[in-house]
Structure 1
């Protein structure tokens, strides 16, 4: 049984290492977010009026085939991720205001959020795949990872507290201890999260291409005076290599969220 105990201990160390790795990744991106300076786009207009924004939203909804939805662009109590800002039941597209220092960024942000919500509303297969890749699948793997991580730790503690009376006397617990399904599943879920994370980053270029291919025509026709601002915002968004930026948010407020492009997931 000593060999079995040592194996479980080594697996638990491996599981703990995966947790420390995830914390380290989140810490890295938090520092990356804090140090990143969002360049100001030089423009004739320092800001865009509410009436122009409302008109732009109305026209783009028609262009994106989602005119029957209501767009709510205002301060929210918490940050709402891209691919999650459509309330299909209430027919709402919710766009939380964030810190934006240039007109071009604001235009790109609003159009990008409406565009993704419209694609999801119309069940576009490409955007639905992006949503599954960046939102749905990671949630599943996170639930599995953290649940089995906790169970692995509890089982190991029980084995140290009273191995004979707790583990040996219970056939199910002994089975889990003898065949370390909990630790192996935790490690497998961790690998799944890493694979999804890498796939999401690699898909950013394709997502940006798809967005620009459709939206650039609208900007050229309807936002002539802001075309250069929009193009500058596009250059900035493409310069950021990450689609997912897992930062440590000590507050659900959007006040300290920097603009990293319309598709970045914090």
Structure 2
């Protein structure tokens, strides 16, 4: 067999190895998620009334100078990622309910998600950057990656089975002799991994930005719930990951564990 065949075989094995690597990452985080115990915050208030939540939401929108926005806080059929809850045209923030065992977590979740949506609504460059590295660019690289992986494997199999007459096509010869498809797969995989690492390291900066802008609101508007909220903040900051890719086996999200207001599962 020619050296070109052996080179392409090595590249195919490498590309398949990247699939195994992505599977392993997802397996690791699924195991982390399944074993995570969300501590209960000791509080006099186990639940918070819907009327109080609506009042806090209204005050927080006013605090962020986004009173024209409407927040829909209810059970959603599908998971809505942190930076995807804003419908700019309709001026609506979609906020899916998830499982909370303490009032502080619910407040941290609601305020954090609304804060992100308001910053996106006002085209804040910092939040747009976090959205880019966690959502926009990864999606771009994943589309390229999975498309090129399918094309790479398909072409390798096709070339082994194709008759000689078809192999004389100049374009097919080019694809066989120059590893454009596997190289694209590997480059896209590298992009996915780099963005993943950058996102994880940026979590503390995002948390700092959020807390810096929340100081006045907490002092003036969370009377009676301040300690619960601050305890939830400690827990949220203890989660080291901004991205937690897991194997999702459900469509409903209300039983989802709380990993902080910004964590993307």
* TM-score strictly above 0.5: yes
Match of 2:205 in 1: 206
- TM-score normalised by the chain length of structure 2: 0.98
1:235 counterpart = 2:234: yes
- TM-score normalised by the chain length of structure 1: 0.98
Match of 2:62 in 1: 62
Q: Deviations over 1:29-50 (max 9, x none)?
A: 1111111000000011001000
1:52 counterpart = 2:43: no
Match of 1:16 in 2: 16
Shift of 1:90: 0.9
Q: Deviations over 1:60-93 (max 9, x none)?
A: 0000111101000000001101010000111100
**Residues of 2 paired with 1:41 and 1:206: CA distance?**
25
Shift of 1:253: 1.4
Shift of 1:163: 5.6
Pairing of 1:51-200 with structure 2 (within 5 A): 51-162=51-162, 164-166=164-166, 168-200=167-199
**Residues of 1 paired with 2:56 and 2:233: CA distance?**
18
2:224 partner SS: helix
Shift of 1:155: 0.6
Change (3 A) 1:256 1:163: farther
* Segments ≥4 residues shifted beyond 3 Å: none
**Residues of 1 paired with 2:131 and 2:138: CA distance?**
10
Shift of 1:150: 0.4
RMSD after superposition: 0.9
Shift of 1:216: 2.6
Instruction: Point out where structure 2 has 5 or more consecutive residues left out of the alignment.
Output: none
**Residues of 2 paired with 1:5 and 1:30: CA distance?**
37
Shift of 1:169: 2.0
Change (3 A) 1:82 1:115: same
Segment drifting more, 15-24 vs 156-165: 156-165
Pairing of 1:217-232 with structure 2 (within 5 A): 217-232=216-231
Q: Deviations over 1:130-155 (max 9, x none)?
A: 11111100000000000000000011
Q: Deviations over 1:178-221 (max 9, x none)?
A: 00010011001000000000000010000000000111320111
1:259 counterpart = 2:236: no
Q: How many pairs does the alignment contain?
A: 265
**Residues of 2 paired with 1:164 and 1:211: CA distance?**
63
**Residues of 1 paired with 2:251 and 2:186: CA distance?**
29
Shift of 1:173: 1.4
Instruction: Point out where structure 1 has 5 or more consecutive residues left out of the alignment.
Output: none
**Residues of 2 paired with 1:7 and 1:131: CA distance?**
38
Change (3 A) 1:189 1:163: farther
